[in-house]
Structure formats: structure tokens, C-alpha cells
Amino acid sequence: MRMRPTLHWTPPDDLPPGTTDLGPVVDALGAGGVLVLSGAGISTQSGIPDYRGEGGSLSRHTPMTYQDFTASASARRRYWARSHLGRRTFVRARPNPGHRAVAAFGRHGLLSGTITQNVDGLHQAAGSADVVELHGSLDRVVCLSCGAFSPRDELTRRLEESNPGFAPVASAINPDGDADLTDEQVGDFRVAPCTACGGVLKPDVVFFGEPVPPPRVEHCRELVRAATSLLVLGSSLTVMSGLRFVRQAAAAGTPVLIVNRDPTRGDTHARTRIALPLGEALPAVAARLGVPVDTTEAAEVTEVAVAAPEAS
């Protein structure tokens, strides 16, 4: 069945306003058993743009859909050219204080788990353990023919060999590591096939219009059932892949708390939405709980979002 990806959501006028009171989050974490569900908003301070926030990439960019990728060789050429270039800057992103606070909560036994909609690996880089990558990871590729997995670094090496000197200037980098390039810049970029069977390679991420693997969804549902509360961090919850867990928690009477500067599609199911930047809010929560946050490797904001002056 062809799925129509949900790219935009318009908040209704009657949504409750956000607050700046971190008390409910402090209380929930203090009680333990909190399940974190994070989205792109937690990575913006690391220089990775989000899709729908202020200046989000959807205002200028339509992401690749699963249907287009699988149906068109030219679409795959465009995707891999843009993704190959974007990865050079995407991988320079480092965890920010928000990621490090989540890792600290986990180390101190306050979390029952972490689910992330992000594909950047920054939760793990910050020290979070047992992170469920709901939408997969850009660090792996999978063959659509034989199902073989391989490291992204290996594919990067092969693409470099097949496309020597490929270094166009991108106007911006998107949340999925995709660089904005024109068709002329993509040119005759050569796509590498699967080394095992010669089939089509795809990043091991869930594209727009592609379902999350059912076993992964069920695992997340189990985590929601076991949690004492659900803490949503930096997600608009526009897409059903994340919203369904908010609805599940609310239906079961499990408190839902959201920290996101803008309204979300899950606000009507939440006890509160705290409208504060995560890089400030989460360390403040940690301080109130007496949980030290490791900042020894915290980097300044990496200029990943823009590799060159933004296109007008």
C-alpha cells in the first residue's frame, strides 16, 4: 500500500499554551522509570537542523520518500550524491548538553529507556545506553535485494573511489544528512551497488512514506507499557511513528510531559508542555536533581546546518 507521508501539521487555535515550569519534569525524573522519546529538536544545538521548527528544512526542502527511492534510479543517484556530500559535515556534529543530560539521567537510574526518532547517533555518543533508534541509523546501509547490512564508512570509501573530486558546494545540510544540491551539481554521480549481490543499497533509515519495522514498534510499545511517565524531548510529533506512543501512554493513564518550544501534535494528550530550549532546560533539571552532567567533551555548536551561505 502506498503511504502518504505527513510532512506538515497546523496547530489548532485552542491548544493549551506552553509553560516554563520545569517542576513536573523534575518530579517525574525524581520518581524514576521515565521513558524518553526524543526528536530532531534535541540535536539542533549540535548544529543539525530540524524539519519543522523555526527555519526547519521542510520550508525549503522535500525529503526523499521510500516510494521515489525504490522506483527511480535517477532519484537514487540524487539521494546518494546529496547524502554522500552531506555526511562529510554531518559526522562532525557532537552531543550537546541536552544529549548529555539524558545520558546522565540514564546513568543515575532515572530512565526506563530512550527512544529516538533521530538518525544521528548523538544520544549514544553522549553515553546513553540501549537507545532504540526508531527510524534507524545513518551509520549503516542495507541491500534491498539480499538484505545484507554493511557499515556506512565502507560505502563512503567506495563512493569516494567511484567519484573522485566530487566536491560541489551545498547550500545547506538537512536533518537526515542530505545536502541541498541542484541536478547540475549531482551530474553523473556514480552509485555503488551491494558488494554481495549487486542490488540497490539504501541507508538503514526509515524514509518518509516507509513504515517502521513492526518488531521495533512492538518493542517501543512494551517500553511505553513499562514506563511510569513518558518524556517527549524536541519532537513536533507530526508523524504517527512517534505520536502513537504518546497516544498509547495517555490512553493508559501514563503521564506525558513534553519539552518543545513550539506546539506539538501531542499537546492535547500531555499534562504539560514546557516551551524551553532543551540545551538549557535539561541541564537545569539535572542541577535541581543533583545529577552531574558530563561536559568534558561537549562541543560548541558545530556549523553543520549550513555548509555555505543559505540559498535565498
* Residue 277, annotated as binding a ligand: no
- Residues catalogued as catalytic: 135
Q: What is the distance between the alpha carbons of residues 291 and 108, in angstroms, rounded to a whole number?
A: 7
Any idea what DSSP says for residue 179? Answer: B
* Residue 173, annotated as binding a ligand: no
* Residue 117, annotated as binding a ligand: yes
Are the C-beta atoms of 118 and 135 separated by less than 8 Å?
A: yes
Residue listed under C-alpha cell 552532567: 293
* Residue 220, annotated as binding a ligand: no
* Residue 67, annotated as binding a ligand: no
Residue listed under C-alpha cell 520518500: 65
Residue 209 identity = G
* Residue 147, annotated as binding a ligand: no
For 55: left if phi > 0, alpha if psi spans -120 to 50, otherwise beta; the answer is left
Sheet of strand 34-38, all strands in order from the earlier edge strand to the far edge = 131-133, 111-116, 34-38, 229-233, 256-259, 272-274
* Residue 122, annotated as binding a ligand: no
Helix ranges restricted to H, the chain: 23-31, 66-71, 73-90, 97-107, 122-126, 152-162, 183-186, 214-226, 240-251, 278-289
Geometric angle at alpha carbon 79, from 177 and 264, rounded to 5°: 50
Biggest alpha carbon–alpha carbon distance for the chain: 57
Residue 159 identity = L
* Residue 185, annotated as binding a ligand: no
* Residue 47, annotated as binding a ligand: yes
* Residue 118, annotated as binding a ligand: yes
* Residue 274, annotated as binding a ligand: no
* Residue 187, annotated as binding a ligand: no
**Could you tell me which residues are annotated as the binding site for NAD(+)?**
39-59, 117-120, 234-236, 278
Query: Which residue numbers belong to the known binding site for Zn(2+)?
Result: 143, 146, 194, 197
Binding residues: 39-59, 117-120, 143, 146, 194, 197, 234-236, 278
